[in-house]
Amino acid sequence: MAKPSHREKILTEGLRVVHERGFAGASVRDIVQAAGVPQGSFTNHFASKEAFGLEILEIYHARGRAVAQATLLNDALPPLKRLEEWVDTVILRMVEHGMRKGCLIGNLTAETSEHSEPIRMRLVEMFSEATRAIAYCLRAAVQAGELPASLDCDEMAGFIFSSLQGANLMAKAQRSSVPLQRFRNILFTAVLR
Amino acid sequence: MAKPSHREKILTEGLRVVHERGFAGASVRDIVQAAGVPQGSFTNHFASKEAFGLEILEIYHARGRAVAQATLLNDALPPLKRLEEWVDTVILRMVEHGMRKGCLIGNLTAETSEHSEPIRMRLVEMFSEATRAIAYCLRAAVQAGELPASLDCDEMAGFIFSSLQGANLMAKAQRSSVPLQRFRNILFTAVLR
Protein backbone atom coordinates (compact mmCIF):
# COMPACT_ATOMS: atom_id res chain seq x y z
CA MET A 1 0.00 0.00 0.00
CA ALA A 2 1.35 3.43 -0.89
CA LYS A 3 2.29 5.66 2.03
CA PRO A 4 -0.17 8.51 2.56
CA SER A 5 0.96 11.71 0.88
CA HIS A 6 1.48 14.94 2.81
CA ARG A 7 -1.79 16.14 1.36
CA GLU A 8 -3.64 13.06 2.63
CA LYS A 9 -2.04 13.37 6.09
CA ILE A 10 -3.02 17.04 6.30
CA LEU A 11 -6.63 16.20 5.39
CA THR A 12 -6.94 13.21 7.75
CA GLU A 13 -5.26 14.80 10.76
CA GLY A 14 -6.57 18.26 9.96
CA LEU A 15 -10.16 16.99 9.95
CA ARG A 16 -9.57 15.44 13.37
CA VAL A 17 -7.93 18.57 14.81
CA VAL A 18 -10.59 20.96 13.45
CA HIS A 19 -13.35 18.66 14.68
CA GLU A 20 -11.78 18.72 18.16
CA ARG A 21 -10.69 22.35 18.41
CA GLY A 22 -12.89 24.27 16.00
CA PHE A 23 -11.93 25.90 12.71
CA ALA A 24 -10.51 29.11 14.17
CA GLY A 25 -9.19 27.21 17.21
CA ALA A 26 -7.06 24.90 15.03
CA SER A 27 -4.25 26.92 13.46
CA VAL A 28 -2.38 25.87 10.32
CA ARG A 29 0.56 25.18 12.63
CA ASP A 30 -1.61 22.85 14.77
CA ILE A 31 -2.73 21.05 11.62
CA VAL A 32 0.73 20.49 10.11
CA GLN A 33 2.10 19.46 13.51
CA ALA A 34 -0.67 16.86 13.92
CA ALA A 35 -0.03 15.64 10.37
CA GLY A 36 3.73 15.47 11.00
CA VAL A 37 4.54 17.38 7.80
CA PRO A 38 6.53 20.58 7.21
CA GLN A 39 4.56 23.84 7.58
CA GLY A 40 5.22 24.72 3.93
CA SER A 41 3.36 21.68 2.65
CA PHE A 42 0.04 23.19 3.75
CA THR A 43 0.43 26.12 1.38
CA ASN A 44 1.75 23.77 -1.32
CA HIS A 45 -1.49 21.80 -1.24
CA PHE A 46 -4.20 24.30 -0.23
CA ALA A 47 -4.75 27.78 -1.62
CA SER A 48 -6.13 28.92 1.76
CA LYS A 49 -7.40 27.64 5.08
CA GLU A 50 -10.90 28.11 3.63
CA ALA A 51 -10.05 25.79 0.71
CA PHE A 52 -8.77 23.23 3.22
CA GLY A 53 -11.95 23.69 5.30
CA LEU A 54 -14.11 22.96 2.26
CA GLU A 55 -12.15 19.75 1.59
CA ILE A 56 -12.41 18.34 5.12
CA LEU A 57 -16.10 19.21 5.09
CA GLU A 58 -16.51 17.05 1.94
CA ILE A 59 -14.71 14.13 3.60
CA TYR A 60 -16.92 14.40 6.68
CA HIS A 61 -20.07 14.79 4.61
CA ALA A 62 -19.21 11.71 2.49
CA ARG A 63 -19.32 9.61 5.68
CA GLY A 64 -22.75 11.00 6.50
CA ARG A 65 -23.92 10.32 2.96
CA ALA A 66 -22.80 6.68 3.25
CA VAL A 67 -24.83 6.35 6.47
CA ALA A 68 -27.89 7.85 4.74
CA GLN A 69 -27.50 5.44 1.82
CA ALA A 70 -27.32 2.41 4.12
CA THR A 71 -30.33 3.54 6.14
CA LEU A 72 -32.70 6.33 4.97
CA LEU A 73 -32.32 5.57 1.26
CA ASN A 74 -32.17 1.77 1.62
CA ASP A 75 -35.37 0.52 0.00
CA ALA A 76 -34.69 -3.02 1.27
CA LEU A 77 -35.76 -2.03 4.82
CA PRO A 78 -39.20 -0.91 6.14
CA PRO A 79 -39.24 2.92 6.08
CA LEU A 80 -39.57 3.75 9.79
CA LYS A 81 -36.99 1.08 10.59
CA ARG A 82 -34.59 2.92 8.26
CA LEU A 83 -35.21 6.20 10.06
CA GLU A 84 -34.57 4.49 13.40
CA GLU A 85 -31.34 2.99 12.12
CA TRP A 86 -30.22 6.34 10.79
CA VAL A 87 -30.87 8.06 14.13
CA ASP A 88 -29.15 5.21 15.99
CA THR A 89 -26.10 5.36 13.73
CA VAL A 90 -25.79 9.14 14.19
CA ILE A 91 -26.07 8.69 17.97
CA LEU A 92 -23.47 5.92 17.91
CA ARG A 93 -21.01 8.12 16.03
CA MET A 94 -21.42 10.83 18.67
CA VAL A 95 -21.01 8.31 21.51
CA GLU A 96 -17.80 6.98 19.92
CA HIS A 97 -16.22 10.40 20.42
CA GLY A 98 -17.41 10.58 24.02
CA MET A 99 -19.85 13.27 22.83
CA ARG A 100 -16.96 15.73 22.89
CA LYS A 101 -16.74 16.71 19.24
CA GLY A 102 -20.31 17.19 18.11
CA CYS A 103 -21.21 17.28 14.42
CA LEU A 104 -18.56 18.99 12.29
CA ILE A 105 -21.26 20.39 10.02
CA GLY A 106 -23.15 21.88 12.98
CA ASN A 107 -19.93 23.17 14.55
CA LEU A 108 -18.84 24.92 11.36
CA THR A 109 -22.31 26.44 11.03
CA ALA A 110 -22.05 27.94 14.49
CA GLU A 111 -18.51 29.11 14.07
CA THR A 112 -17.62 29.68 10.45
CA SER A 113 -20.75 30.33 8.41
CA GLU A 114 -20.44 34.06 9.09
CA HIS A 115 -16.77 34.22 8.00
CA SER A 116 -16.83 32.27 4.77
CA GLU A 117 -19.55 32.46 2.18
CA PRO A 118 -18.28 29.38 0.26
CA ILE A 119 -18.33 27.32 3.48
CA ARG A 120 -21.77 28.64 4.46
CA MET A 121 -23.22 27.82 1.05
CA ARG A 122 -21.76 24.31 1.10
CA LEU A 123 -23.18 23.75 4.61
CA VAL A 124 -26.64 24.77 3.37
CA GLU A 125 -26.36 22.26 0.51
CA MET A 126 -25.33 19.54 2.95
CA PHE A 127 -28.31 20.27 5.20
CA SER A 128 -30.52 20.18 2.17
CA GLU A 129 -29.14 16.83 1.00
CA ALA A 130 -29.63 15.26 4.45
CA THR A 131 -33.14 16.69 4.70
CA ARG A 132 -34.06 15.31 1.27
CA ALA A 133 -32.90 11.83 2.33
CA ILE A 134 -35.10 12.02 5.46
CA ALA A 135 -38.06 13.26 3.38
CA TYR A 136 -37.55 10.36 0.94
CA CYS A 137 -37.76 7.92 3.86
CA LEU A 138 -40.84 9.65 5.34
CA ARG A 139 -42.64 9.54 1.98
CA ALA A 140 -41.92 5.81 1.79
CA ALA A 141 -43.36 5.46 5.32
CA VAL A 142 -46.52 7.28 4.24
CA GLN A 143 -46.84 5.04 1.17
CA ALA A 144 -46.35 1.96 3.36
CA GLY A 145 -49.10 3.19 5.68
CA GLU A 146 -46.65 3.62 8.57
CA LEU A 147 -47.37 7.36 8.78
CA PRO A 148 -50.56 9.34 8.01
CA ALA A 149 -51.07 10.57 4.44
CA SER A 150 -51.58 14.08 5.81
CA LEU A 151 -47.91 14.35 6.90
CA ASP A 152 -45.94 17.15 5.23
CA CYS A 153 -42.81 15.05 4.67
CA ASP A 154 -40.54 17.93 3.61
CA GLU A 155 -41.43 20.06 6.62
CA MET A 156 -41.11 17.14 9.03
CA ALA A 157 -37.76 16.15 7.49
CA GLY A 158 -36.42 19.67 8.08
CA PHE A 159 -37.69 19.57 11.66
CA ILE A 160 -36.10 16.17 12.30
CA PHE A 161 -32.74 17.20 10.91
CA SER A 162 -32.56 20.50 12.78
CA SER A 163 -33.80 18.93 16.02
CA LEU A 164 -31.12 16.26 15.79
CA GLN A 165 -28.50 19.00 15.29
CA GLY A 166 -29.78 20.67 18.45
CA ALA A 167 -29.66 17.40 20.40
CA ASN A 168 -26.07 16.94 19.19
CA LEU A 169 -25.21 20.36 20.53
CA MET A 170 -26.73 19.66 23.95
CA ALA A 171 -25.01 16.26 24.06
CA LYS A 172 -21.70 17.96 23.33
CA ALA A 173 -22.18 20.49 26.13
CA GLN A 174 -23.30 17.87 28.63
CA ARG A 175 -20.92 15.14 27.39
CA SER A 176 -23.86 12.82 27.70
CA SER A 177 -25.99 10.93 25.21
CA VAL A 178 -29.15 11.80 27.20
CA PRO A 179 -30.24 14.65 24.86
CA LEU A 180 -29.80 12.32 21.86
CA GLN A 181 -31.76 9.48 23.47
CA ARG A 182 -34.46 11.99 24.42
CA PHE A 183 -34.64 13.20 20.82
CA ARG A 184 -34.99 9.58 19.65
CA ASN A 185 -37.70 8.73 22.17
CA ILE A 186 -39.81 11.83 21.58
CA LEU A 187 -39.41 11.59 17.80
CA PHE A 188 -40.79 8.05 17.65
CA THR A 189 -43.36 8.24 20.44
CA ALA A 190 -44.74 11.82 20.25
CA VAL A 191 -43.78 13.45 16.93
CA LEU A 192 -44.30 10.58 14.48
CA ARG A 193 -47.35 9.07 16.16
CA MET B 1 -25.36 59.76 33.01
CA ALA B 2 -21.84 58.52 33.72
CA LYS B 3 -19.73 57.63 30.68
CA PRO B 4 -19.27 53.88 30.25
CA SER B 5 -16.01 52.64 31.75
CA HIS B 6 -13.41 50.81 29.69
CA ARG B 7 -14.57 47.63 31.35
CA GLU B 8 -18.18 48.25 30.30
CA LYS B 9 -17.14 49.12 26.75
CA ILE B 10 -15.08 45.93 26.49
CA LEU B 11 -18.03 43.84 27.69
CA THR B 12 -20.62 45.52 25.45
CA GLU B 13 -18.55 45.62 22.27
CA GLY B 14 -16.78 42.36 23.08
CA LEU B 15 -20.11 40.53 23.37
CA ARG B 16 -21.13 41.89 19.98
CA VAL B 17 -17.81 40.96 18.32
CA VAL B 18 -17.69 37.45 19.81
CA HIS B 19 -21.33 36.88 18.84
CA GLU B 20 -20.49 37.89 15.26
CA ARG B 21 -17.09 36.27 14.81
CA GLY B 22 -16.93 33.44 17.33
CA PHE B 23 -14.85 33.17 20.48
CA ALA B 24 -11.62 32.02 18.82
CA GLY B 25 -12.37 34.19 15.76
CA ALA B 26 -12.52 37.38 17.85
CA SER B 27 -9.03 38.19 19.14
CA VAL B 28 -8.36 40.39 22.17
CA ARG B 29 -7.09 42.96 19.67
CA ASP B 30 -10.40 42.82 17.77
CA ILE B 31 -12.27 43.30 21.04
CA VAL B 32 -10.29 46.30 22.30
CA GLN B 33 -10.38 47.88 18.84
CA ALA B 34 -14.18 47.54 18.73
CA ALA B 35 -14.41 48.96 22.25
CA GLY B 36 -12.08 51.86 21.35
CA VAL B 37 -9.90 51.29 24.42
CA PRO B 38 -6.16 50.66 24.76
CA GLN B 39 -5.07 47.01 24.45
CA GLY B 40 -3.72 47.04 28.01
CA SER B 41 -7.13 47.71 29.53
CA PHE B 42 -8.28 44.20 28.60
CA THR B 43 -5.67 42.61 30.85
CA ASN B 44 -6.34 45.26 33.51
CA HIS B 45 -9.97 44.15 33.74
CA PHE B 46 -9.97 40.44 32.85
CA ALA B 47 -7.67 37.74 34.16
CA SER B 48 -7.96 35.85 30.87
CA LYS B 49 -9.99 35.63 27.70
CA GLU B 50 -11.86 32.77 29.37
CA ALA B 51 -12.81 35.04 32.30
CA PHE B 52 -14.04 37.63 29.79
CA GLY B 53 -15.96 34.88 27.93
CA LEU B 54 -17.72 33.86 31.14
CA GLU B 55 -18.76 37.48 31.78
CA ILE B 56 -20.24 38.11 28.32
CA LEU B 57 -22.05 34.78 28.59
CA GLU B 58 -23.69 36.02 31.82
CA ILE B 59 -24.80 39.26 30.13
CA TYR B 60 -26.29 37.33 27.22
CA HIS B 61 -27.94 34.80 29.51
CA ALA B 62 -29.49 37.56 31.65
CA ARG B 63 -31.37 38.77 28.55
CA GLY B 64 -32.66 35.26 27.94
CA ARG B 65 -33.69 34.96 31.58
CA ALA B 66 -35.68 38.21 31.31
CA VAL B 67 -37.52 36.81 28.28
CA ALA B 68 -38.30 33.59 30.17
CA GLN B 69 -39.62 35.57 33.12
CA ALA B 70 -41.91 37.67 30.92
CA THR B 71 -43.24 34.60 29.09
CA LEU B 72 -42.65 31.02 30.34
CA LEU B 73 -42.71 31.93 34.03
CA ASN B 74 -45.44 34.56 33.78
CA ASP B 75 -48.39 33.06 35.66
CA ALA B 76 -50.67 35.88 34.47
CA LEU B 77 -50.89 34.32 30.99
CA PRO B 78 -52.44 30.99 29.88
CA PRO B 79 -49.62 28.39 29.82
CA LEU B 80 -49.48 27.45 26.12
CA LYS B 81 -49.80 31.12 25.21
CA ARG B 82 -46.66 31.77 27.31
CA LEU B 83 -44.77 29.06 25.45
CA GLU B 84 -45.87 30.57 22.13
CA GLU B 85 -44.75 34.02 23.23
CA TRP B 86 -41.40 32.67 24.37
CA VAL B 87 -40.81 30.93 21.02
CA ASP B 88 -41.93 34.05 19.13
CA THR B 89 -39.62 36.29 21.16
CA VAL B 90 -36.63 33.99 20.56
CA ILE B 91 -37.41 33.95 16.83
CA LEU B 92 -37.75 37.74 16.79
CA ARG B 93 -34.34 38.15 18.42
CA MET B 94 -32.78 35.96 15.72
CA VAL B 95 -34.60 37.86 12.95
CA GLU B 96 -33.34 41.18 14.34
CA HIS B 97 -29.79 40.05 13.60
CA GLY B 98 -30.70 38.95 10.10
CA MET B 99 -30.24 35.38 11.40
CA ARG B 100 -26.48 35.89 11.04
CA LYS B 101 -25.33 35.50 14.61
CA GLY B 102 -27.28 32.57 16.00
CA CYS B 103 -27.55 31.95 19.73
CA LEU B 104 -24.35 32.86 21.61
CA ILE B 105 -24.94 29.98 24.02
CA GLY B 106 -25.31 27.50 21.16
CA ASN B 107 -22.33 28.98 19.32
CA LEU B 108 -20.07 28.73 22.36
CA THR B 109 -21.22 25.14 22.89
CA ALA B 110 -20.19 24.21 19.37
CA GLU B 111 -16.92 26.09 19.49
CA THR B 112 -15.64 26.49 23.02
CA SER B 113 -17.09 23.78 25.25
CA GLU B 114 -14.16 21.50 24.43
CA HIS B 115 -11.54 24.17 25.27
CA SER B 116 -12.78 25.54 28.55
CA GLU B 117 -14.26 23.46 31.33
CA PRO B 118 -15.57 26.53 33.25
CA ILE B 119 -17.38 27.77 30.10
CA ARG B 120 -18.74 24.30 29.34
CA MET B 121 -20.08 23.86 32.87
CA ARG B 122 -21.71 27.29 32.81
CA LEU B 123 -23.33 26.50 29.44
CA VAL B 124 -24.78 23.29 30.88
CA GLU B 125 -26.25 25.26 33.81
CA MET B 126 -27.78 27.76 31.39
CA PHE B 127 -29.38 24.98 29.34
CA SER B 128 -30.69 23.49 32.54
CA GLU B 129 -32.19 26.80 33.69
CA ALA B 130 -33.92 27.36 30.35
CA THR B 131 -35.21 23.79 30.30
CA ARG B 132 -36.61 24.14 33.84
CA ALA B 133 -38.50 27.28 32.80
CA ILE B 134 -40.03 25.42 29.83
CA ALA B 135 -40.94 22.46 32.08
CA TYR B 136 -42.59 24.85 34.58
CA CYS B 137 -44.74 26.22 31.77
CA LEU B 138 -45.60 22.74 30.44
CA ARG B 139 -46.65 21.58 33.93
CA ALA B 140 -48.94 24.61 34.18
CA ALA B 141 -50.41 23.66 30.79
CA VAL B 142 -51.06 20.11 32.02
CA GLN B 143 -52.73 21.48 35.17
CA ALA B 144 -54.84 23.82 33.06
CA GLY B 145 -55.93 20.88 30.91
CA GLU B 146 -54.18 22.32 27.84
CA LEU B 147 -51.89 19.29 27.56
CA PRO B 148 -52.48 15.62 28.50
CA ALA B 149 -51.64 14.54 32.05
CA SER B 150 -49.46 11.77 30.60
CA LEU B 151 -46.92 14.27 29.25
CA ASP B 152 -43.40 13.94 30.68
CA CYS B 153 -42.85 17.68 31.08
CA ASP B 154 -39.12 17.50 31.89
CA GLU B 155 -38.34 15.31 28.88
CA MET B 156 -40.48 17.41 26.56
CA ALA B 157 -38.88 20.62 27.88
CA GLY B 158 -35.41 19.25 27.08
CA PHE B 159 -36.59 18.26 23.61
CA ILE B 160 -38.11 21.69 22.96
CA PHE B 161 -35.00 23.55 24.07
CA SER B 162 -32.58 21.42 22.09
CA SER B 163 -34.80 21.43 19.00
CA LEU B 164 -34.98 25.22 19.13
CA GLN B 165 -31.18 25.37 19.34
CA GLY B 166 -31.02 23.20 16.23
CA ALA B 167 -33.51 25.40 14.39
CA ASN B 168 -31.39 28.42 15.35
CA LEU B 169 -28.35 26.75 13.85
CA MET B 170 -30.12 25.96 10.57
CA ALA B 171 -31.52 29.51 10.44
CA LYS B 172 -28.01 30.88 10.86
CA ALA B 173 -26.64 28.72 8.03
CA GLN B 174 -29.51 29.55 5.70
CA ARG B 175 -29.87 33.19 6.85
CA SER B 176 -33.58 32.54 6.83
CA SER B 177 -36.23 32.29 9.51
CA VAL B 178 -37.82 29.29 7.73
CA PRO B 179 -36.25 26.66 10.07
CA LEU B 180 -37.49 28.64 13.10
CA GLN B 181 -41.02 29.03 11.72
CA ARG B 182 -41.01 25.31 10.90
CA PHE B 183 -39.96 24.49 14.46
CA ARG B 184 -42.81 26.67 15.77
CA ASN B 185 -45.43 25.15 13.48
CA ILE B 186 -44.48 21.53 14.12
CA LEU B 187 -44.13 22.11 17.86
CA PHE B 188 -47.66 23.45 18.22
CA THR B 189 -49.42 21.32 15.62
CA ALA B 190 -47.66 17.92 15.79
CA VAL B 191 -45.57 17.64 18.97
CA LEU B 192 -47.88 19.25 21.56
CA ARG B 193 -51.15 17.94 20.14
Answer yes or no: do A100 and B115 touch at CB < 8 A.
no
pLDDT of residue A1: 59
- Give the closest of A21, A22, A164 to B166, CB-based: A164
pLDDT of residue A138: 98
Closest CA in chain A for residue B117: A173
The whole-chain average pLDDT of chain B stands at: 93
- Rounded Cα distance, B163 and B182, in Å: 11
User: pLDDT tens-digit profile of A48-86?
Assistant: 999 999 999 999 999 999 999 999 999 999 999 999 999
Q: Which whole number is the average pLDDT over B21-35?
A: 93
Residue ranges, chain A, pLDDT below 50:
none
pLDDT at B11 over 80: yes
ipTM of the complex: 0.92
pLDDT of residue A10: 96
Contacts of B123 in chain A (CB under 8 A): 173
The kind and range of the H/E element at A108 are: helix A104-112
- The pTM is what? 0.94
Alpha-carbon dihedral A128, A130, A135, A141, rounded to 10 degrees: 180
Does the CB of B28 have a partner CB in chain A at under 8 Å?
Answer: no
pLDDT at B65 over 90: yes
Answer yes or no: do A169 and B166 touch at CB < 8 A.
yes
Answer yes or no: do B111 and A106 touch at CB < 8 A.
no
pLDDT of residue B1: 59
Contacts of B191 in chain A (CB under 8 A): 186, 190-191
Q: Which whole number is the average pLDDT over B164-171?
A: 94
Does the CB of B191 have a partner CB in chain A at under 8 Å?
Answer: yes
Does the CB of A24 have a partner CB in chain B at under 8 Å?
Answer: yes
pLDDT of residue A98: 77
Burial of A135: CB neighbours in 10 Å, binned 0-12, 13-18, 19+: buried
